[in-house]
Amino acid sequence: MIRESFLLGGELPVRRLGYGTAQLAGPGYWGPRGDARDAVAVLRRAVERGVTLIDTADNYGPSIAEELVAEALHPYPRGLLIATKGGVVRTSDSAWYADGRPERLREMCEASLRRLRLGTIDLYQLHRLDPGVPMAEQLGALDELRAEGKIRHVGLDTVTAEQLQAALELTSVVSVQNRYNLLDRSSEPLLELCEARGIAFLPWFPLGNGSLTADPVCAEIAAAHGATPGQIALAWLLHRSPVLCPPPGTGTLAHLDENLDAAAVRLSDAEVSLLSSPRV
């Protein structure tokens, strides 16, 4: 039996299948994507369908995704957790760099608070560790923001198991985000550490940026369930580990509904084993 919810930080219950907002921006997560009314409709439908974790970032757009979240959902319903990220600066659709200087992290966090119309960000994630700034300084800046009540919990994005272990020696971390899906399990050691420590793992590209829809094993099992390959790939994540909380993104209502319907798919042990087996 799979768990439908996860207790983030041991106190904030969220449904494990969330919604990611990157696809609400244009190609390369840069500029607008079509009519903003479509994005607003998708966000509202996600909440209507029971999503309680919205995952966004200040550099999706930049700023566009956060602004759309506030436009669509503020005032936020009780129990809805808005997670965002900071620490990455975008200068074009293909150029970005990490900036973990404490003063910049503070500026980014305070700008996100304004755009999201929040007094406190429940989950603020360091989008990338800046190799030019000591980890202790970057996490120390987030600790200061947490002490001031501007953020409630800290998460990390794109880290190794060793980096997470080092971070845990400096502060509390309640979530990580790494690329992880049926065909890319290079972050398996990180997932094992998250399981041992009760840390949420929010896999990005949970559908392999679309590549999983062509996986023959997914297609075979999907046919048996009357489902789509993408739904099987998401269902596998929910079966794989109770700490995996995938937030698939989309800009269309039809794809949103398809993704969220994956929560109802129940895979047998044999199907999970077949999906988990290495591809030749």
> What is the residue-wise DSSP string for the chain?
---SEEEETTTEEEESS-EE-GGGB-GGGBSB-S-HHHHHHHHHHHHHTT--EEE--TTTBTTHHHHHHHHHHPSPPTT-EEEEEESEEEEETTEEEE---HHHHHHHHHHHHHHHT-SSEEEEEESS--TTS-HHHHHHHHHHHHHTTSEEEEEEES--HHHHHHHHTTS---EEE-B-BTTB-TTHHHHHHHHHHT-EE--BSTTGGGGGGG-HHHHHHHHHHT--HHHHHHHHHHHH-TTB----B-SSHHHHHHHHHGGG----HHHHHHHHSPP-
Q: Is 180 a catalytic residue?
A: no
Catalytic residue among 19, 29, 60, 180: 60
Please identify every residue annotated as catalytic.
60
